[in-house]
A and B are shown apart, each in its own frame.
Chain A
């Protein structure tokens, strides 16, 4: 276990170095969050009753999404890993007495949480003081707050379990670019990163809830703002857990198959 903690630590330290990138990212996220809210505000002016979420719920959703963007972004990959696979440097990683799957998983957790830590606090600090109803408010209840925390972590692990499958797919390809772009656009759409899943037509929602993507960012944010509560919230968290285990097992299986076929490039 200690060795994985060490990977976590060295990756975290590495990630915390990039302050300029964090500031630039934060500015983009404020702007993005603000524009999204204003756009929705324009729609809400014409009959707020026709929308599934109240405007304050939506504001909370959007600000949480911006603050925790780094945890769930489907387009955020660890370039070292692609580099290791395509350049053949994975040879060295394979010479270590560690499970490659676990090591990469841990590296991704560290990278995403490092980025998140640099960005979330300033976003909270500003979003809380925005005028009502554009502001970020406290969770609807203490229970919702606690469930949110659990769900936030499960959701982020689930997001990483997806990304792991993309890394593994790279073993079979010379360039990872195509699969990355395809994957991230689809997942962003299906996970409610572009518009919350609640805004999709009922029939589409039914399908989306059968897929794992709905259980990454949608679950924690909708628990936080009270859109999901009671039994629904617990059920969603359970499904997060089930999907996480399923994708983790699938990833491990795929990894061990890929490593058997691996051809280290060059040299």
Chain B
């Protein structure tokens, strides 16, 4: 169980204008600005949940993750994770969590990955049997059996990321923090990583908290999303709920032969070129089936597809709505 209450964090940042004069001035008198990275952040996450934590760059995602993993001390507020305050009980707390920072590496660079795993085993005092079981399971699920004997520096990003994720799960953590785990990965690796996270969440009941900019991650993985912007939690709800809120419009893409005449109310022709049309439908005014019927009456339809708002569009809409 994770509980955050009224967490605040401010960073002090030295600032100066460009130019030699300003640089000299800064030697004697530094000017600081204060950035409110987190502003009264509160939420609760239950055991076994999978939560997507989203927001634009600089919104405070990483700061929150760092606070929850005991790295950063907030200025004020409460954070209780499994009965402990992370920054006060750091060593006991981190025993029970696994963390992957997508932009950093925890693997020993010059030695084979499996040596890093052995070191992690000793650090967390994982028993031989548990280690072997976990290693077998993880290498199989992540398909890294072939590569763990290679030094980390010779792995591709996708291979390395899979090893990083395995490394963070060797000690059976109850909570897994993933900070942009799919950053820079190709489609195949992304899918492998997503499938794996789902499996771990389902079979081990590991609580997963995921930050990402990739909406497909969110769509594929999480039921619940937390949207943060300018240091505040703006929205806490399910992805479905969010979709419903935004799904009053559908987009119809049609390839046709013939001529499209005037469309009925609720249908808006966005693009029409050489027998290829994009039509936006307001589902409050006309159901999708009626719209399709109306089109097929006017022209011969060769191909047709209906798309709702993508998660990406919804998030952009949310960002706009909250002006972040």
Contact = CB atoms under 8 A, between A and B. Distances in A.
Interface of A: 2-3, 5-7, 10, 13-14, 17, 87-89, 91-92, 94-99, 260-264, 266-267
Contact of B108 (A10, A87, A260): A10
Contact of B66 (A10, A14, A97, A264): A264
B104 A260 contact: no
Given A263-B11, A264-B66, A264-B72, A97 B108 contact: no
Interface string B146-160: 000000000000000
A95 B62 contact: no
A89 B104 contact: yes
Nearest to A5: B122
Contact of B91 (A89, A98, A261): A98
Interface residues of B, number: 32
B164 to A, nearest CB: 10
Contacts of A5: 122
A5 to B, nearest CB: 8
A63 B179 CA distance: 52
Contact of B104 (A10, A14, A91, A99): A91
B71 A97 contact: no
A7 B92 CA distance: 20
B122 A14 contact: no
A260 B62 CA distance: 17
Interface of B: 11, 62, 66, 69-73, 87, 90-92, 94-95, 97, 99, 101, 103-106, 108, 110-111, 115, 118-119, 122-125, 179
Contact of A97 (B99, B101, B110, B123): B123
18 contacts: A2-B125, A3-B125, A6-B123, A7-B119, A10-B115, A17-B110, A92-B99, A92-B101, A92-B106, A94-B70, A94-B71, A95-B71, A95-B99, A261-B73, A262-B71, A263-B72, A266-B103, A267-B179
B91 A91 contact: no
Given A91-B66, A262-B72, A267 B119 contact: no
Nearest to B106: A92
Contacts of A97: 91-92, 94-95, 123-124
Contacts of B97: 95
